[in-house]
A and B are shown apart, each in its own frame.
Chain A
Amino acid sequence: MLVIKNLHANIDGTEILKGVSLTINAGEVHAIMGPNGSGKSTLAKVLTGDESYDVTKGEVIFDGKNLLELEPEERALEGFFMAFQYPIEIPGVNNASFLRMAVNAKRKHAGQDELDPLEFDEILQAKIRLLEMNPDFAERNVNHGFSGGEKKRNEILQMAILEPKLALLDETDSGLDIDALRIVASGVNKLKHEKNAILLITHYQRLLNHIVPDYVHIMYEGKIVRSGDKTLAYELEEKGYDLLQKCA
């Protein structure tokens, strides 16, 4: 589904990604771990299409398409989704109408009929229940005045509504208390099936107790330095940076 080959990327002339390679197949859950500054969030932003970054080398194939040639909205329409580490507050834009427009853009792209507000509301309320969210979420402005936990849950709500093929969760666990983490994780688990895939970016092994990965990758200084199964996360948790230095 997603094949990243030797990806290099700069911001303001500084190279952050120094040759990332990774393959994700449908039905798989991958986790990327690593310390601050290792390039995890840069990878997420480059994959989403953030124009602040320059890709200097390498390629990314998503579902047979050259992902790097697509505009951010085209990536979304093709089924790519990133849950932001810091979701943006958009005062003046209503959550429900924003989500409905996003869903309808996607349906239109797939040649399906657009949903009217009533049809959409039914779907939205079902997903809100699934994620144990307050129904008034729909009528609030996008992330405006939301607590950190509410913003993260809103990201997962968007994921639930948009039903992406590949969902990238960029430190979705950071800033969540243990109950919120459990709810978010169970939401993600309910959305998971054979035909989609999930890429988790996290600092901590904690999230991986709730969303169990098939593969764990360790990123360090702009590269994936080691890959393994979920036991690698325990090993990292136990040995910390020493393990990374050994890898490097």
Chain B
Amino acid sequence: MSTTIETMIPEKYKNVFAHAPTFTGDVSWLRTLRTKAYKRFQELGFPTRKHEDWRYINLEPILETAFVRPEDIVPHVDQEILQEYILSADNPRLVLVNGRYFEEGSSLGTLPDRVLFEPLHKALTTHGTRVELAISSSIEQEMNPFAALNSLYFQEGIFLSIPEGVRIETPIELFLITTETNQGPAVYYPRVFLSLGAGAKADVVLTCLSLGNERSFHNAVIDLSVGEKAHLSTTVLQRNGKEELQLVTTRIRQAKESALSMTMLTHGGMITRNEVQTSLRGEGATCFLNGLSLIANDSHVFHHPTTHHEMPHTVSRQLYKNIVNGRARSEFNSMAFIHKGAVKSDSAQLNRNMVLSKTSRAISRPQLKVYTDDVVAAHGSTTGQVSNEELFYLRSRGLSKEVATSMLVYGFAEEIVQTISSPTIQKHVEDFVRRDLSEVVANAS
């Protein structure tokens, strides 16, 4: 199996495949899946700037770096660092460090009995069929080559399955952390599976953290499945070092009358690309996708939310705000598809950007495809600067230019923070946003 894949590697991608693992340890269904994933990857190839969805991203740092998969690293993060990011030590928590399960920092035990919450390597053996179902159903239609690569390479990840009717009120905390390994630029392929049965409820916080300034590449895939009348809130906090490359591809399937909200907060990093694709497969499903980027220096952040309204009476909202300073760049490239027969669907996409320097840039491309009548579909975009009038007003009351700017920028950002319904998570995120924001505002160059 491993030799088959290696001999198929095209010469120009050899860097990316240099770390090709041997899949000898895999169970047979997983080997079959990897073969399918590789086939799919070959059909797709790496994207070029001719692909609309990849037009503005510079993939060179990813394609030209000779990444390694660090070996013999004992996963570890200092307790103080973890303390800074966890909401409460009492919450269920699963931590991956450098692609491996960090048992010492995790705490899986406090969930109801029937809930499955474990590192993926374990779930692959204990609940393989469910993992197989979640991946193989979509691999042949996968349009993102990096997601296909993740299916080819993933070894570890997070598996959370909440059965029918179980409502969990305490937030569940997930961490994907990279630290410096001193083994050269590292690549990780974490995979997160999250499923809620009918009527289940959960609040999940995923923190993606790259510590230090070593280059690393996180090619992550998140599969979410939300059952009938289930309710899932997710908050994704990305705080990355300046050399971090992070592609996060999220695939969401929603059943009848389910509700999902996802709020992503992005700060730092060299390249971050968040692709979120939701399929509203059941009548009356509702989905809210929100994003906030706070970036300066040379950070590039790309948001690609797509919502498929496949059934009648489905509702979607996309609200993304980008605050760019220095030479940072943001892209909002969204799509709402209203499929044939999805009558009475209601969709709105809104992107608002605040550009704080002459050298930063915000690209905005909300798009809409409607294949049925009798729907409501709106999309809009604004890009502006801090208002001089507002700034003058605040300064005339004794606030310094910097404080007044931070205040106005926070006022702009706050709407996204407020999309988080849990007060404890909202407060947690607000603290980070305020801190990141003053850093971004101070970085005006």
- Let me know if A105 and B411 touch, CB within 8 A: no
- Let me know if A76 and B398 touch, CB within 8 A: yes
- Let me know if A84 and B414 touch, CB within 8 A: no
Q: Count A interface residues, CB 8 Å.
A: 28
- Chain A residues with CB under 8 Å of B415's CB are 92
Does chain A have a CB within 8 A of B121?
Answer: no
With A88-B390, A90-B393, A90-B408 given, is the CB distance from A105 to B414 under 8 Å?
no
Does chain B have a CB within 8 A of A102?
Answer: yes
Does chain B have a CB within 8 A of A35?
Answer: no
Q: Say which residue of B390, B398, B407, B408 sits within 8 Å of A77 (CB atoms).
A: B398
Contact with A along B372-415 (1 / 0, CB 8 A): 00000000000000010110111111111101100110111111
Complex Cα distance, B390 from A77, in Å, reads 18
Interface residues in A91-129 (C-beta closer than 8 Å to B): 91-93, 98, 101-102, 105-106, 109
- Let me know if B393 and A92 touch, CB within 8 A: no
Does chain B have a CB within 8 A of A149?
Answer: no
Q: Say which residue of A51, A77, A90, A106 sits within 8 Å of B394 (CB atoms).
A: A90
**A164 CB to nearest B CB, Å:** 10
Does chain B have a CB within 8 A of A72?
Answer: yes
- Let me know if B397 and A90 touch, CB within 8 A: no
Count of inter-chain pairs, beta carbons less than 8 A: 72
Report which residue of A49, A77, A98 has the largest number of chain B beta carbons within 10 angstroms of its beta carbon: A98
- Let me know if B410 and A98 touch, CB within 8 A: no
- Let me know if B395 and A72 touch, CB within 8 A: yes
Complex Cα distance, B403 from A73, in Å, reads 11
Complex Cα distance, B414 from A28, in Å, reads 43
- Chain B residues with CB under 8 Å of A49's CB are 392, 395-396
Does chain B have a CB within 8 A of A162?
Answer: yes
- Let me know if A106 and B398 touch, CB within 8 A: yes
- Chain A residues with CB under 8 Å of B399's CB are 73, 101-102, 105
**B17 CB to nearest A CB, Å:** 48
Complex Cα distance, B395 from A101, in Å, reads 11
Report which residue of B387, B389, B413 has the largest number of chain A beta carbons within 10 angstroms of its beta carbon: B389
**A167 CB to nearest B CB, Å:** 12
- Let me know if A88 and B389 touch, CB within 8 A: yes
- Chain B residues with CB under 8 Å of A235's CB are none
Closest 10 CB pairs of A and B: A92-B411, A76-B398, A88-B393, A72-B395, A102-B397, A105-B398, A93-B411, A73-B395, A92-B414, A72-B396
**Interface contacts beyond A88-B392, A105-B403: sample of 18 additional A-B pairs, CB < 8 Å, sorted by A:** A49-B392, A50-B392, A72-B392, A72-B395, A72-B396, A73-B395, A73-B399, A73-B400, A73-B404, A88-B389, A91-B411, A92-B410, A92-B411, A98-B394, A98-B407, A101-B403, A101-B407, A109-B398
> Chain B interface (Cβ within 8 Å of chain A)?
387, 389-390, 392-401, 403-404, 407-408, 410-415
> Chain A interface (Cβ within 8 Å of chain B)?
48-51, 71-73, 75-77, 81-82, 84, 87-88, 90-93, 98, 101-102, 105-106, 109, 141, 158, 162
